[in-house]
Amino acid sequence: MRFSKSLLYKVTLLTVLLPLLFASALSAASTSSYTNPINTAGADPYVMLHSDGYYYFTRTLGSRLDLWKSRSLIGIDLGERKTVWTAPPNLKDIWAPEIHYIDGKWYMYYTANTGCGDNCRGIYVLENASADPLQGTWVDKGRINTQYSGLDGTVFDQNGQLYFLYAAYGNWSGAHGSAIAIAPMSNPWTLNGDNAILTKPEFDWEQKGMPVNEARLF
């Protein structure tokens, strides 16, 4: 098959120009910005997709617990929002809330302290039997009976057994810090076994300032 000189010239020109155009597009993209915020502001975000087709979102607000409800992740900021619980005077620093659906009921786990810092910091839980967590009554189930003070609690089901994880405070690396602890649960608000330490600060990069192993695992 023969090609005209004109066609060969065009093919050669495209072969040279396309990589240059592609590189130029990448360069332009790298110097421009793109934003698509799910929530415009908020520390410790947590979101779950429930079987009803809604996303439920919560985050640290310091003195209360709010829930957002949306059909899509990108619609959370414009979704329905409600303050479902306000902290009583004896609880400070309401941090890192999570919402979970366990055995037909809703549970919200959150960190709080009673005014003396890390030594008084623990994880508390609320329960709601309503099908819609923005409705019904949130019942205080109290503080989780963790072996250590700590924060950032979460829960998961493994083959029918509930487990609780949290960042446990202790003297793990020669200084006060946090480690990841896990314990089995007899119900969504009660631990019934040893608090085993999964990870603790051991490497230099984990011990800059306060030694920390701290994460939301699920």
Please classify residue 143 by burial: count the beta carbons closer than 10 Å to its beta carbon, then call 0-12 exposed, 13-18 middle and 19+ buried.
Answer: middle
Catalytic: 98? no
Residue with the two structure tokens 């508390």? 124
Kind of pairing, strands 139-143 and 105-113? unpaired
Dmax (CA) of the chain = 87
Give me the sign of the Cα torsion angle 14, 19, 20, 26: positive
| Cα 50 to Cα 13, 133, 142, distances in angstroms | 54, 11, 25
Catalytic: 44? yes
H or E element that contains 24: helix 5-31
Q: Which of 156, 149, 57, 164 is nearest to 111 (CA)?
A: 149
Task: Point out the catalytic residue in the list 98, 127, 152, 214.
Answer: 214
The answer for residues whose C-beta is within 8 angstroms of residue 169's C-beta and 6 or more apart is 118, 119, 121, 148, 149, 150, 176, 177, 178
Task: Point out the catalytic residue in the list 44, 77, 118, 206.
Answer: 44
Residues annotated catalytic, as ranges: 44, 214
